[in-house]
Amino acid sequence: MHLMFGKCKNVHIKEIGTLLAATDTTTGTLTWALALLVNNPEILNKAIEELDREIGKGKMVDISDLKKLDYMRCIIMETLRLYPPAPLNLIHESTEDCIVGGFHVPKGTRLLTNISKLQRDPFIYPQPLEFLPERFLTTHKNVDVKGQHFELIPFGAGRRMCSGLYFGFQVMQLTLATLLHGFHIATPDGKPVDMLERVGLTNIKASPLQAILTPRLLSNIYHQI
């Protein structure tokens, strides 16, 4: 992800950079989130409206503010639904013969869960290919990413689910909220972002995301970072 800052002086984003560099999966998910928002300006505007309403323009977003940002949480969840960090999850192997759904599974069978396919199932999610964060405030408001609802398991489920779930989700919320609150975001040519995926163990864009960020707050506010 390449970010270009226009009309920007004395802006320090070292905290954002630190968070983005934490893991490639976190960076990848945030890239997808920004690309989806740029391609869906009405959703981007709703996110900014929530930030202005709940945070105001007199301060930067703080981690304690996240509990007030319901729509931001839904944006991250919908991004993880459409673009899970690991589309096929980790390999699981049965340790003994068992019966699953009426099928005999012999010991030593290796299983790859197609999370991407599962989370785009039209029987579970109406308009499965559409970016609709509102679904997690309405039809799927009781669904979370903690491995208890198998229709949304970007971090896996069970004893081998991702141990960084809570940290990663919080980092993504805080970073995305900080970016949207502090900057106007646009593509250099004003055209939609290419959403082509690159095949691999992790789900990343085939081409880098290029975006121009311009400050939307008073310059002294950025010194709070």
Going by the annotation, the residues of the binding site are 162
CB atoms within 10 A of CB 16: 18
The CA–CA distances, whole Å, from 155 to 31, 44, 100 equal: 17, 25, 22
The secondary element (H helix, E strand) that includes residue 96 is: none
Q: Are 128 and 134 in contact (CB under 8 A)?
A: no
Count of alpha carbons within 13 angstroms of residue 137, beta-carbon side:
11
Question: Do the bridges between strand 210-215 and strand 183-186 make them parallel or antiparallel, or are there none, so unpaired?
Answer: antiparallel
User: Which string of b and e fits 38-56 if b means at least 16 CB within 10 Å?
Assistant: bbbeebbebbbebbeebbe
Cβ atoms within 10 Å, residue 124: 15
Binding residues for heme: 162
Task: Give Cα 149 to chain centroid, integer Å.
Answer: 18
